[in-house]
Every structure is written in C-alpha cells, then in structure tokens.
Amino acid sequence: MNGADAIIKCLEAEQVSVVFGYPGVAICPFYNSILESPIRTILIRTEQNAAHAASGMARITGRPGVCAVTSGPGATNVITGIATAFADSIPLVCITGQVNSELLGSDVFQEADITGAVESFVKYSYLVRDVKDIPRIFKEAFHIANTGRKGPVLIDVPIDIQNASLEKFHYPEEINMRTYKPTVKGNMAQIKKVVRELERAKRPLICAGGGVLLSEAEQELRAFSKEYRIPVVSTMMGIGVMPTKDPLYFGMVGNNGKAYANRAMNEADLLIMVGARVADRAVNQPEVITRNKILVHIDVDPAEIGKNAGPSIPLVGDAKHIFADLAQEEFSCDTAEWIHTLEEYRVSMAPKRNPNPDYVDPAAFITLLSEKMQANGIYVADVGQNQIWSCGYHIVREGRFMTSGGMGTMGYSIPAAMGAKLAAPDRQVIAVCGDGSFQMSMMELATLRQHDIPVKIIVMKNNYLGMVRQYQHFTYKDHYSVVDLSGSPDLEKLVSAYDMPYLRLESMDRAEEVLDRFLAKDESMLLECVIDPMDLV
C-alpha cells in the first residue's frame, strides 16, 4: 500500500461517495488508486467548481464534500471555491497534489505554496510530510471540517508522499487534539436567562441564519417557534429554516430583504439571533439591534458573538442542542398582539412591482416555479439580481434553498446544483442564474453530460450584469461601465452543442406550459427566460 491508497482508504472510512476534481501529475497517484475504489470521480471542467460542487453536496448530505486537484494552478484555482465555502461555513475536505517534498520551496514547475495562500480561507490546513501521518491527518480533517463551526480543511500531499509505501494502515477511531474542543452544549445559566427574558418580552423575534441549517436544527426551531408563538425572520443563508408560508415566518431581513422583516427586527424588544454573523448585508446598522432591546446571540463560534454587535446574553453552542434545552423549560409568552402587528406589516409593506408585460417577470416566474417544482426540490440561486429575486419570491416548502451568501461568488449555482443532485438523486434540483453567472460556469454543461447528472438550469437573460447595472443606475445616474454582456453566446446553439434540450420563455403568457415541459422529466435542460434589462430588484 502506498500513500495514495491510504488516502482512498481514509475517504472510504469516512463514507465518501463522490470526489470532484481535476487531475494533474502531482495528484496522479491519488487518481490512480481511486480506480480500485467504489468512490465515484467527477471530472469537473475548472477547479473552482470542484469546491462548489463539493459544497453543494455537503449542504445536502450534512457531511464534508471532497475535492481533489493538482498542485500549482489546480490548487490556486480552487481557492475561490474554498473561500466561498468558508464564508458560508460549509464543510469541505480539499486534497491538493504537491511537488516532491525535496523540491518544496525551490519554485519548480507547478509548485504553489497552497497552505500559505489559502490560510485565511480554511478552518485548518495540513502539508503532509510523512506517509505515516495520512490516517491521523484525514481523521482530524474530517472531524475539524464537520464539527463546531463547520468549514473547509485543505490537505496538501506531495507526490512522493502519495507514492511512499505504508506498511500498516490503521484508521484511528479517536481524535486527540488538545487545541480543538468546540462547545456545542449551551450554558444552562445563560439558557435560563433567555427564558426569563422571553417571559418578560412583549415582542420577541427569532432571526435564523445559516447556522441553523448547518446544525440541522430546523425542526427544533420550528417546534419552539410554534409552541411559544414566537415569530421568525431569517438571513439569506437562513432561508428555508422556516417554510416560506409558515404563518410565523416574516421573511428575509437585510438591505435586499423584506421591509416588514426589517421592521420586525427594529421593533422587537427581544431578538434571538441564532447561527447568524450579524454581517453588513443582513444587519446594516448593528447598533439598531442592540438599542432598546435585549439581544440574545446564539452561535457555535464564540468569536462571532460580540464581533459586530454586543449582545445582552451571549450563548455559545450548537443551535440543535440549545433549542432542545430550551424546549425543556416551562414558560409562557403572550405574543398575540405582536404577531397581529407583524401580520399587518406583512400586508401593508409587501413589495410592489410594476412588471413589464413584454418580458418574463422574474418575481411571478419564480413564484410559479416554486409552486410547480417538487415540494422537496432543491433550488440553487446564483449571485446577482437573480439571487435577490430568488430570495424574495421562491417559496420553500419541504425543500432546500442554497446560494453563495457570504462570498457572493458568481457561477456557484450550476456546480453546487450538480453536487446536490449527486447527494439526492431522487430530488429535483434547479439552478437559477443570470446570463453573467451562467457564463462563469457554463463549461460544466460538459460535466453534467459526461456523468449524466440531471440538473435543471434556468438562465435569466437580460444582457447585463444586472446587479452592477442597477448599482450604477442608482449610484452613478445610469453611467454604465463594463456591464453590457454583448457577445454572449446563443444559448440554444450552445446547449445543442452539448446535446442538451433547450426551452425559451419570452413573456409570462406561456409560463405555465413552458414550466410544465421544463419540469416534466428528470433530465438536464436549460430554460432561458428573457427579462427586462432595466428591471430592478
């Protein structure tokens, strides 16, 4: 057995079923050994998307996604994907090939100091110096990636280490790291304080972030909200924690969110932020959520608490544990009046749009799509205007909503949808992107075809980098700079080159019929929706 064989054994021990990647000489021993394994390999068309696909898979399975790329440019290309996962706390294990150990530091062909380069975007990284360390390092890497605040871990393996022989393979059962013991159980005294404040509160509100989904605490949070009649809003990453139509759910907060959700945040007298970073897009003015109210901040990462807003009650721990503990407490909360007020806001402050009838109205289209897609379908929104419309109008029932929230990485949707589909072959997976973001990942159409992964793609075409155009419209009085997407390919011709079916929708008139055809079969298909280039989110 050599080091590469040992790596494969580790991946098997971690029940990895798919590796996304792109080979090169420095990772060839790994790709040679994986042929003997039942682990499926997916040849992605650019390394960044290997990390996105692994991220899409991780979000659905709840286990780390795995990608493996070569040294030098392979490794540096994957950095944006790793940074995207890091910003959204998605567990990944990224394996990079590296030049021969003896040549490290001598700037030979395809050498890049990847552990150095990626330091600010990983939870941890390893450079393997001894083949005997492989089992321990992989055991630790999977543990680190998927516990505490989840995130990407990178393992850089020089080619000579992959080729070195290992006499005995033993995958450790225990982890022994003196520096890493994340707190998952909340402090009971703090939990009791929260309960006391809840009893006193007249206008309590829960703001759920992506951390709730990462800790798989949706059911606990929903049950808690229902039992005590506490309304819920969410951040972009927290969309789907509550079903969109749940009477106690009052939408996404933030500068791209619902006005009534923001008003709820401002008027609450007790705000429970859970699994949310209090970053600028969700909470534009952190002082607003600490003024005139009790702020409870629940997060598994103690460094998030107090980073952007000083809470009255900090509560470190995993959301699932904390809501389970809160459910054990007995108290009552009278929120009928508060909920009534919020319901009135939801009606009076509903967004008003004036759609141009000559085009597809993204809002109406997305709502219709949500109604027609499978209840447990997975909706992956890309980045740009399409993302904001998706956040605003997609209706989550029993499915998932995924997007690159923290980093806002264009091109995320197609590879992430690919990963999600591999994780859940029985569920419908739809990637919704703009014509800008589509062109950042359109090379993956080949991957979908090659590996027969049926992902549905919707491209909202407006011939602009719409989000930036909108910004230039407001900030620079329509002084447009470098946002015109002229020269984009004819998508019908493009997908036919990949032997993929194509549909086009130019107005809402035929929307029902076209969507029915689009969703009829579990096969890859691209639907192009022509939207008004001047439309605003």
For residue 291, the minimal CB distance to another protein (Å) is: 16
Q: Which is nearer to another protein, 121 or 389 (CB)?
A: 121
Residues 460, 488 contacting (CB under 8 angstroms): no
For residue 139, the minimal CB distance to another protein (Å) is: 14
Residue 158: phi and psi, rounded to 5, are -60, 150
For residue 303, the minimal CB distance to another protein (Å) is: 4
For residue 110, the minimal CB distance to another protein (Å) is: 21
The single-letter DSSP state of residue 26 is: G
Q: Which is nearer to another protein, 275 or 377 (CB)?
A: 275
For residue 255, the minimal CB distance to another protein (Å) is: 23
Closest of 238, 290, 221, 252 to residue 402, by C-alpha: 238
For residue 307, the minimal CB distance to another protein (Å) is: 6
Q: How many helices (H) and strands (E) does the chain have?
A: 22, 18
Write down how long the chain is: 537
Q: Which is nearer to another protein, 242 or 273 (CB)?
A: 273
Burial class from Cβ neighbours inside 10 Å (0-12, 13-18, 19+) for residue 38 reads exposed
Residues of the chain by 3-state class (helix, strand, coil), percent to 5: 40, 20, 40
290: left (phi over 0), alpha (psi -120 to 50) or beta: alpha
452 Cβ contact list (under 8 Å, min separation 6): none
Q: Which is nearer to another protein, 168 or 178 (CB)?
A: 178
| CA-angle at 309, arms to 304 and 313, nearest 5° | 80
Q: Which is nearer to another protein, 73 or 302 (CB)?
A: 302
What number of CA atoms fall less than 13 Å from residue 297's CA on the CB side?
22
For residue 324, the minimal CB distance to another protein (Å) is: 25
Tokens representing residue 488 in the block: 């984009």
Tokens representing residue 243 in the block: 């079903």
Tokens representing residue 184 in the block: 């998952």
The beta strand positions in 376-509, using DSSP E, are 378-381, 400-403, 429-434, 456-461, 502-505
Residues 207, 233 contacting (CB under 8 angstroms): yes
The single-letter DSSP state of residue 71 is: S
Cα–Cα distance, 419 to 453 (Å, whole number): 9
What residue ranges bind another protein (CB under 8 A)? 115-116, 119-120, 123-124, 127, 144, 177-180, 301-303, 306-307, 310
For residue 301, the minimal CB distance to another protein (Å) is: 7
DSSP β-bridge partners for residue 96: 69, 156
For residue 181, the minimal CB distance to another protein (Å) is: 11
Q: CA 201 → CA 8, 195, 235, 320, 442, distances in Å?
A: 54, 10, 22, 23, 51
Q: Which is nearer to another protein, 137 or 198 (CB)?
A: 137
CA-based R_g, the chain, Å? 24
Q: Which is nearer to another protein, 120 or 481 (CB)?
A: 120
For residue 140, the minimal CB distance to another protein (Å) is: 9
Q: Which is nearer to another protein, 180 or 502 (CB)?
A: 180
Q: CA 145 → CA 66, 265, 376, distances in Å?
A: 11, 32, 27
For residue 120, the minimal CB distance to another protein (Å) is: 5
Tokens representing residue 373 in the block: 């897609």
Q: Which is nearer to another protein, 306 or 425 (CB)?
A: 306
Q: Which is nearer to another protein, 193 or 307 (CB)?
A: 307
For residue 11, what is the enclosing H or E element?
A: helix 3-13
Residues 467, 385 contacting (CB under 8 angstroms): yes
Q: Which is nearer to another protein, 171 or 180 (CB)?
A: 180
Q: Which is nearer to another protein, 305 or 458 (CB)?
A: 305
Cα–Cα distance, 147 to 59 (Å, whole number): 14
For residue 466, the minimal CB distance to another protein (Å) is: 32
